[in-house]
Structure formats: C-alpha cells, structure tokens
C-alpha cells in the first residue's frame, strides 16, 4: 500500500469489487469491462470532479433518449502489441477488427464533439482525443470484404489473376466432364464427381480398371478399392492453375503486407485512441449504472466533510432486485434510506444501540458511496449529497478472526486498529464496527474511548458503531462528537433502519424481554438493580438528548428549506437555459430563411441579367449591375459569411460534408480562383463548387 492508494483491506470489507463487477456489466465492450474492473478510487479531487462531470454529461445524453454509437468496439490491443514485436502480416480478420474499431472511434468522435457545448464540454474533450483514421478504415474496407477475404478489386493485378483462375477453373471442369462422360470410361469409374487431391483434380477409378485411364495415382481409399488418378489430359491445365494460385497468394500477401504497414505506421496513435475508447466506454457504463440504480451526481467539496441525503446501499438494492426478479429502480422505496453527515458540525459519529444489523449497514453505506464518488461514479442518494475526496479510507468491519494466525476476533481487530491509528490524519475517513467488542465490557469501553480520542486528535473523520452504553457519555462530553442510533420499533421488535442523529441508541433489553413474556418479578428486580447502579448521569444525558433532538429537528427543517430553494434555483436555471437554446434555434432558423430568400432573389436577378444580355447596352448594363449588387448582399448574410470563413480555413486533409452526395469527403485541393474544391468521396475524386460543401455535422 502506498500513500496515494486507498487501503486494500478497506476495498475488500466494503465490497468495492462487487460494485466494479456490476459496473462492468453496463459496458458496451471488453475495453470498457476491463476498465471498469480495474477502476480505482482516486485521492485527487480534480480527477474525481472531472470523471463525475463526464458521467453526468453522458447520463444527460441517455436521459434525452439519444443513442450513443458504441457498436463496433473491439479490444485490438493484443493484435497491435503482437504485430509490433515481430514482422508478421496481419490477416483479413484482425484487419477488419481494427477497421471496425477505428470506424467506431470516428462515429464516437463525431457524436461527442457535436453535442451541445454548454452541456457536454467534458465529453467533447474526450471526443477530440479520439483519432481520425477514416482513410485507413476506407483502405482496409476497400481491400478486405465482409467475408474476410481480400477483394478482387484490391488491385488490378489481383483482379486479372482471379479472372484467369476463373477461366482455368471452367476449362478444367469442362475437360473433366468430357473425360468422365466418355463411354469407354463408364465402367471404370467409382463415381463421376469432380474431386481434388493435394490441390489437383482427380478421377475416382476402380482399382481393377487402372489401365483404362492414363494418369498419375495421387491417393487411394482405405480399402484400396478406389484409386484417385490425375488424368494426363488435365496436367497442363492443373499446372497453369497451380501457378495462378501461387501468383494470387503472392499478390494477396503483398496487399496484406501494405495494409499491415499502414496500421503499424499509426500504431502509437491507434493505441492512444483505444485507451480513450476504453475511458469513453467506462463513462458510458457509469452513466448506464446511474440510470439503472436511479443515482445522482454527488458534489465534491474541499472541506473534508460528507453529507448523504436519502442514501441507499447499492448492493442491498441489487440483492432486493434479484430476490424479486425486477429492476432496481422499482425497489428504491423498499430499501430504507439514511441521512448522514460528518465533518461539518462534528467529526465523530457514534452509532449505538442493540445489535440489530442496521448499524453496520450505515458504516458500509458511508464507506462504499465515498469510494464510488472518488471513482467518478454517481451514488444512490438524493441530489445534494456531497463528499470530500479523502486521501485514505480505513474500515474495520466484520469478523476478523484468523485461525491460521491463531488470533482471536479481538486481537485481529486490534491489529487493524493499530494500523489505522498509525495512518490517520486530517484527510482520513475511519469506519469502525462494534468498537470495544470481544473483551471485558469495562475494559473495552475505556480502550474504545482512548482510541476514539486519539483518532480525533489526529484530525480523522470517524464513524463508529458500538453496543457499549458507556461510550454514549463520551459522545456527549467530547467536542465535535455526536451520538446517533438506528431506530428500533419496540412494538414489532424490529429495526426500522432509519438513522437518528443526536439520539443515542437504547439497548431496549427490558422492553424486549417484557414483549417476549419475561415474568414481571424478574423485570421488576432488573429495574431496581438498574436504578441502584445508575450514577445519576442518566437524567443529565436524557436532558442533553432532548435538547439535541430539538436542534436536529430544526436543522433538518432548515436543510429542507435550503434544498427547496436550491431546487427552485435549478429549475429557473434550467428554464433559462431552454429559453437561450430556443433563442439560438430561432436565430439559426432566421439566418437560414434569410439566406434562402437571398439565394432565390440572386437566382432571379442572374436569370433576369441573362435575359437582358441581348437588350440595348444601357439596359443590359443596368441588369448586370443589379445582379452584382444583389450577389454582394447575398454574400453578406450571416450564414454566407460563416460559410466563407469556413472555406477560407480549409486545407488539404480536412473533412467536409459534400451536400449533393450526403457523404463526408477529404479535401485534396482548394482552387480559390475557380471557387471550387477537389475532394475524395468514397475513393472518388470530385471537383465541386464551394456552395456544395459544408462543415461536417
């Protein structure tokens, strides 16, 4: 473990690997799945904010119902690394995998960079880092067909060779059929099927009729009753076919070698693009995970605090969905949410009460959601939840007993806590379950008190559970410490799983015993003993508790008002954004209508000037001047000005949208004097007027 990595033991006890596995299931390719399974919580706040922003932007795309073009992605890293080490020709199948992946990269690049900039700045930045390999993709697809064979049209030479192979094949078949249809050979034939042995055409001949056909025996049946004879009449044609097939193999090898070199020339750029594709797919998985589990984007704050609002444990949601066989989103109401805060008005949260199971879930929810936020994932909590980015997260949760090391549960816990004490500072989150358990209650309580005091002096943010009642007093008397409990229903004898901050948990032992039928005399005796052992602090604690509960209710009410205000502000901002978007849309529509109208007027003026060409010079000249003035006005419309600037910026190799063909092309040459542009569209060279090209979508 290094100082820049979250404690591995913490990742294990909080089941972060299970979350990574669920995340991987939402990826579109092996690239994204591998990235999800190796995802690690970061201790860099800027990194976490950037990754969360990417997830949020892609979640917004999915919420709008847009389809992200993820199809075609392949993990081609092994192919590229393998062929980078040795001089081996890439076969058609891996070439097609490379082409498919690079084509998918181009589609993603276009999709991401053309999203609304104000809502997708991070996605656009990711898209801009995807390479443009359209020329390479076009060349591979030109040479290799979907049947994974090199196309006839890959080269003129290959086309001619295969034409010759076709002619030879027809001649060989014709000669063969003439041979086997001969009456003199009928009785000698085993069958008249066209057969090949060792790449040569043969006749299936009965062994006892061997002398009926001049030729060479190339094979025989297992019983020896059938001979496979290459007729002398076909030898010359077979030799020609063999030579032609050899030439075909050579030419195919040459074409594959050229394609291999084209790929290897771009190997570094392709590998960089593949890495970015993995990150895009990982972000896609995070966004889909967020949708499926009804998550929200947490805020990242610098003040080493966390606030969870209506948070749910994602693995509890997953478990409940599996039990009921339905989507997770349909079950969010069945998992009781918790509201937790830490590091704001207190640094230690002590959750006390009976051992009902709810306390541990609180710790695991805090820890796991913190790890998810620091990994750039949304969290299953209400909007407004926030986290610090902790430099370290320590967790001591569950039974740590080790038979191999002959350690008791208590000893194993102490070993972990010693490590936690050594590594805690003011940027550390510490989660301790059942602190002080496993030994004498009195000794456990004083040891737990000392541990908590040491952790707080080191500046750690601590959440701990215990069933030791003596620790309640510590949380009341220690500065920046707070009691809490998981609410227990004494009527049903079941936990409600609602966390109540400011209220210590009662053991409820006597209440539970009474509900379960304990005799009254036993309960009375226990009650009198409890009063005798009380040192008078219970009444004081009850008074403090009542005060804190009242303060907590007021804080909750104030927070609710603040949340309502934030939501109102968010709605106003969203409405304002829609108004601005509508304004931009209307302006663009107006620009188009002005441009279309001016184009129609210019065409009418040009037609009028042409008709007036043979009129008296005075009128012809005036018509030409009018057409020129209208043309100048048409060139000054907003759209025309932007188009002219686009044309001025074009250079060889740039992409343009070719309007008549509804395809993208690559600029070969710009002839400004002619006001034309030479472009390649699907391997064809065309010369078009400026007006027929536009900026790619």
Q: Model confidence over 508-531: pLDDT tens digits?
A: 666 666 766 778 877 777 667 666
Q: How far is CA 317 from CA 122, 328, 368, in A?
A: 30, 6, 13
Specify the CATH number of the domain 650-697: 2.30.30.140
The DSSP line for 530-580 is HHHH--SHHHHHHHHHHHHHHHHHHHHHHHHHHHHHHHHHHHHHHHHHHHH
Mean pLDDT, range 14-31, rounded to an integer:
95
The residue that leads in pLDDT, 23 or 493, is: 23
Domain 154-250 has CATH 1.10.10.410: no
Q: Please report which confidence band the pLDDT of residue 496 belongs to, taking 50, 70 and 90 as the band edges.
A: low
pLDDT score, position 543: 54
Q: Which of 358, 328, 291 is nearest to 61 (CA)?
A: 291
At 689, is the secondary structure helix, strand, or coil? strand
Question: Does residue 282 contact residue 27 with C-beta atoms inside 8 Å?
Answer: yes
Residue 473 has pLDDT above 50, yes or no: yes
pLDDT score, position 18: 94
pLDDT score, position 49: 95
pLDDT score, position 1: 35
Mean pLDDT, range 66-73, rounded to an integer:
89
CATH topology of domain 8-133+266-292: MutS, DNA mismatch repair protein; Chain A, domain 3 (1.10.1420)
pLDDT score, position 401: 41
Report residue 280 as tokens.
């895009």
Averaged confidence pLDDT in the chain: 82
Q: Please report which confidence band the pLDDT of residue 404 belongs to, taking 50, 70 and 90 as the band edges.
A: very low
Mean pLDDT, range 78-87, rounded to an integer:
70
Q: Which of 49, 560, 570, 45 is nearest to 309 (CA)?
A: 560
Query: How many Cα neighbours within 13 Å face the side chain of 219?
Result: 13
Burial of residue 176 (number of CB atoms within 10 Å: 0-12, 13-18, 19+):
buried
CA angle 121, 122, 126 (to 5 degrees): 115
pLDDT score, position 397: 86
pLDDT score, position 553: 67
Question: Does residue 197 contact residue 219 with C-beta atoms inside 8 Å?
Answer: yes
Top mean pLDDT of 344-348, 389-393, 449-453 is at 389-393
Top mean pLDDT of 252-256, 615-619, 657-661 is at 252-256
At 486, is the secondary structure helix, strand, or coil? strand
Q: Which of 100, 120, 99, 102 is nearest to 111 (CA)?
A: 120
Annotated domain spans of the chain: 8-133+266-292, 154-250, 299-504, 549-640, 650-697
Q: Please report which confidence band the pLDDT of residue 328 belongs to, taking 50, 70 and 90 as the band edges.
A: confident
Distance CA 381, CA 369 (A): 9
What is this structure's pTM? 0.71
Mean pLDDT, range 554-562, rounded to an integer:
71
Phi, psi of 231 (to 5 degrees): -65, 140
Q: In CATH terms, are 8-133+266-292 and 154-250 the same topology?
A: yes
CB atoms under 10 Å from CB of 448, counted, come to 24
Distance CA 458, CA 429 (A): 11
At 664, is the secondary structure helix, strand, or coil? strand
Distance CA 211, CA 214 (A): 7
pLDDT score, position 336: 82
Give the architecture (CATH level 2) of 299-504. Answer: 3-Layer(aba) Sandwich (3.40)
Mean pLDDT, range 567-573, rounded to an integer:
76
Report residue 674 as tokens.
């002619």
- With b for 16 or more beta-carbon neighbours within 10 A and e for fewer, the 539-558 pattern comes to eebeebbeebeeebeeeeee
Report residue 651 as tokens.
């250079």
């Amino acid at each position: 473990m290094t100082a820049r990595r979250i404690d591995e033991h913490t990742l294990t006890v909080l089941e972060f690997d299970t979350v990574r596995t669920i995340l991987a299931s939402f990826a579109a390719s092996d690239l994204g799945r591998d990235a999800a399974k190796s995802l690690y919580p970061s201790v860099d706040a800027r990194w976490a904010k950037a990754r969360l922003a990417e997830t949020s932007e892609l979640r917004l795309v999915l919420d709008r119902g847009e389809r992200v073009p993820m199809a075609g992605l392949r993990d081609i890293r092994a192919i590229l690394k393998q062929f980078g080490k040795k001089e081996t020709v890439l076969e058609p199948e891996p070439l097609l995998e490379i082409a498919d992946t690079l084509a998918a990269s181009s589609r993603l690049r276009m999709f991401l960079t053309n999203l609304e900039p104000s809502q997708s700045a991070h996605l656009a930045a990711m898209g801009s880092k995807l390479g443009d390999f359209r020329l390479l993709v076009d060349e591979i697809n030109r040479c290799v067909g979907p049947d994974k064979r090199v196309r006839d049209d890959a080269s003129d030479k290959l086309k001619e060779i295969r034409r010759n192979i076709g002619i030879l094949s027809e001649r060989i078949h014709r000669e063969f059929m003439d041979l086997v249809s001969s009456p003199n050979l009928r009785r000698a034939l085993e069958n008249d099927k066209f057969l090949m042995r060792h790449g040569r055409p043969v006749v299936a001949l009965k062994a006892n009729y061997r002398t009926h056909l001049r030729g060479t025996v190339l094979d025989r049946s297992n019983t020896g009753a059938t001979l496979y004879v290459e007729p002398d009449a076909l030898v010359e044609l077979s030799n020609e076919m063999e030579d032609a097939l050899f030439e075909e193999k050579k030419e195919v090898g040459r074409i594959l070698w050229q394609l291999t070199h084209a790929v290897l020339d771009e190997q570094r750029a392709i590998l960089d693009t593949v890495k970015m594709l993995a990150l895009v797919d990982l972000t896609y998985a995070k966004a889909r995970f967020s949708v499926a589990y009804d998550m929200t984007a947490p805020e990242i704050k610098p003040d080493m605090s966390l606030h969870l609002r209506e948070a749910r444990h994602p693995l509890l949601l997953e478990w409940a969905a599996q039990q009921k066989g339905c989507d997770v989103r349909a079950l969010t109401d069945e998992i009781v949410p918790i509201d937790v805060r830490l590091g704001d008005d207190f640094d230690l949260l002590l959750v006390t009460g009976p051992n009902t199971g709810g306390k541990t879930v609180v710790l695991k929810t805090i820890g796991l959601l913190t790890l998810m936020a620091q990994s750039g994932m949304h969290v299953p909590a209400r909007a407004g939840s926030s986290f610090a980015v902790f430099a370290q997260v320590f967790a001591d949760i569950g039974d740590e007993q080790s038979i191999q090391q002959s350690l008791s549960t208590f000893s194993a816990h102490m070993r972990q806590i010693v490590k936690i004490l050594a590594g805690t500072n003011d940027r550390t989150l510490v989660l301790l379950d059942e602190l002080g358990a496993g030994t004498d209650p009195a000794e456990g309580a004083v040891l737990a008190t000392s541990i908590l005091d040491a952790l707080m002096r080191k500046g750690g943010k601590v959440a701990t559970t215990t069933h030791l009642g003596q620790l309640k007093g510590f949380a009341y008397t220690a500065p920046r410490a707070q009691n809490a409990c998981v609410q227990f229903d004494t009527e049903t004898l079941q936990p409600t799983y609602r966390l109540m901050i400011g209220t210590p948990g009662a053991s409820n032992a006597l209440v539970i015993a009474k509900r379960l039928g304990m005799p009254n005399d036993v309960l009375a005796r226990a009650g009198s003993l409890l009063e005798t052992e009380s040192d008078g602090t219970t009444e004081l604690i009850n008074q403090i508790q009542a005060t804190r509960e009242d303060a907590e209710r007021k804080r909750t009410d104030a927070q609710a008002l603040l949340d309502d205000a934030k939501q109102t502000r968010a709605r106003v901002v969203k409405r304002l954004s829609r108004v601005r978007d509508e304004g931009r849309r209307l302006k663009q529509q107006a620009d188009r209508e002005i441009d279309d109208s001016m184009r129609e007027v210019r065409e009418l003026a040009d037609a009028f000037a042409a008709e007036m060409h043979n009129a008296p010079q005075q009128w012809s000249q005036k018509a030409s001047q009018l057409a020129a003035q209208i043309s100048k006005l048409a060139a000054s419309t907003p759209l025309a000005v932007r188009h002219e600037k686009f044309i001025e910026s074009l250079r060889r190799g740039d992409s343009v949208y070719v309007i008549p063909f509804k395809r993208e092309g690559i600029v070969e040459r710009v002839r400004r004097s002619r006001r034309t542009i030479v472009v390649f569209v699907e391997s064809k060279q065309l010369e078009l007027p400026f007006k027929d090209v536009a900026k790619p979508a």
